[in-house]
Amino acid sequence: MNTDNASLYVKWLKQEVAPALGCTEPVAISFAAAYAAQYLDQPCTKISGFISANLYKNAMGVTIPGTTVCGVPLAAAIGAFGGDPQKGLKTLEDITPRHVEMAQKLIANNAVDIAVEETPDFIHLDLTLSAGENCCRVVVKGTHTNVVELYINGQPQPLSEKQNTRTQRETLPTFSLQQAYEFINRVDFNDIRFILDAARLNSALAAEGKTKKYGLNINGTFSDAVKNGLMSNDLLSKVIINTVAASDARMGGAPVVAMSNFGSGNQGITATMPVVVVAEHLGVDEETLARALSLSHLTAISIHSRYTRLSALCAASTAAMGAAAGMAWLFTRDINTINTAIINMVSDITGMICDGASNSCAMKVSSVVSSAFKAVLMAMQNSCAGANDGIVCADVEQTINNLCRLVIKPMTLTDKEIISIMVAK
């Protein structure tokens, strides 16, 4: 295949499929605080500033990784005392209970004041940390760790090119499902071997999720139902349980790294675990798994790159469309089956809202992976939602564009109302 095109898809995968510890929105807040704290010569005594409304929506109610607490002020304060900005989305990897205690004390002293503001960028943080006579202000925009402005004691500081330039996530050309399909079938295995890390990390997270009751423990509920004969121990149950176990752990604050997709751990989990479970069921080799995972993650990327990074749509739903593509490829290797599965999913779960990151995200994950499996089974029987059914069309690309059109236009009003409800609680 064309070498330039091949490198494009590899670049997309390497940029958007990345390790992350904990839900990425509170981690972004912790990262910004940790980034500013490194320029202070003593422990932080005050944090002020603002974050974008969408960031607030996804940070207010989810457990901060490595802790049992949640909240925007705590995310900032914990990052200030224990975060390591050099680790990016793994900023909180080394925090301790002592850091949490220090953060709680700072908040008890009314020294953390972070407002919520409407901003053009869905991801926008502007935090100032103070200690003694010194202060440092950091501005992060566009992506979770993209530092665009730095001020020390009010004076602007130069940033390295890596910090000061928006990453190529927003400039890489989009691509179709057909192009992704052709890529994963032809690419040299060694060029995509790295995607197996997604299986390794997210499988480890799923295993952790089964060790104790994280979040709502939805995987435990389903596992008990299987044991009690209320659910079958079939492939669908295994897909749901293993995927949700990782999501339970992720949203419940497990100190275990996830492989994310498009800046979201749950999206990475959703695009990975159903494919891993089906691959194990079929007994395929590592190369086949890598190709299926690449298709899953590229499909999720292709769809999400057509709408905003944060929105009113539950993005696990579009990540699950990636999983549907990966599972359909494992079963059939047929592009028509893959396209049909995506169309079926758009017909099934369009409109599932994102009302902020929380433990209940794992419930949505269970719903979307169930939809993905159902859509694949239907597609394998040549059963497809008709072109006269709602927003779907006979063409998969137009169907995806119709979905994204809803997200970009009318669902922006939905998003504002969701945030208004959450802020008022």
Rounded to an integer, what distance in angstroms lies between the CA atom of residue 202 and that of residue 320?
Answer: 15
Predicted local confidence at residue 65, as pLDDT: 87
Q: Domain ends where: 152, 168, 184?
A: 168
> CB of 49 within 8 A of CB of 65?
no
Q: How many CB atoms lie within 10 A of CB 283?
A: 7
Q: Domain ends where: 142, 168, 194?
A: 168
pLDDT at 204 over 80: yes
Predicted local confidence at residue 424, as pLDDT: 86
pLDDT at 168 over 50: no
Give per-residue pLDDT as tens, 57-109: 999 988 998 898 999 999 999 999 999 999 998 999 999 999 999 999 999 99
Predicted local confidence at residue 4, as pLDDT: 55
Q: How many CB atoms lie within 10 A of CB 383?
A: 11
**131 and 180 share a domain?**
no
Average pLDDT over the chain reads 94
Q: What is the mean pLDDT of residues 124-148?
A: 96
pLDDT at 365 over 90: yes
**200 and 111 share a domain?**
no
CATH code of 160's domain: 3.30.1330
Q: Is residue 244 part of a domain?
A: yes
Q: Is residue 164 part of a domain?
A: yes
**242 and 161 share a domain?**
no
**335 and 199 share a domain?**
yes
Predicted local confidence at residue 1, as pLDDT: 47
Per DSSP, the three-state class of 401 is: helix
Q: Which helix (H) or strand (E) holds 321?
A: helix 316-332
Residue 184 sits at the vertex; the CA angle it makes with 179 and 187, to the nearest 5 degrees, is: 110
**89 and 27 share a domain?**
yes
**201 and 154 share a domain?**
no
Who's near 381: CB < 8 A, 6+ residues apart? none
Residue of 165 and 52 predicted with greater confidence = 52
**419 and 283 share a domain?**
yes
CATH code of 231's domain: 1.10.4100
**219 and 289 share a domain?**
yes
Rounded to an integer, what distance in angstroms lies between the CA atom of residue 19 and that of residue 384?
Answer: 35
pLDDT band for 161, please (50, 70, 90 cuts): low
Alpha-carbon dihedral sign for residues 275, 280, 283, 284: positive
Q: Domain ends where: 124, 149, 168?
A: 168
Q: What is the mean pLDDT of residues 7-24?
A: 92
Rounded to an integer, what distance in angstroms lies between the CA atom of residue 18 and that of residue 94?
Answer: 19
Packed helices 265-282 and 235-251: angle between N→C axes, nearest 10 degrees: 150
Q: Is residue 263 part of a domain?
A: yes
In terms of residues, how long is the chain?
425
**183 and 152 share a domain?**
no
Give per-residue pLDDT as tens, 103-114: 999 999 999 999
**292 and 178 share a domain?**
yes
Count structural domains, the chain. 2
> Which of 275, 213, 198, 236 is closest to 14 using CA atoms?
198
For residue 132, what are the domain limits?
Answer: 19-168
Q: Is residue 9 part of a domain?
A: no
**104 and 127 share a domain?**
yes
Q: Is residue 12 part of a domain?
A: no
Who's near 25: CB < 8 A, 6+ residues apart? 55, 58, 59, 62, 144, 357
Q: What is the mean pLDDT of residues 330-357?
A: 97
Report the Cα 171 to chain-centroid distance in Å: 20
pTM for this entry: 0.89
**125 and 177 share a domain?**
no
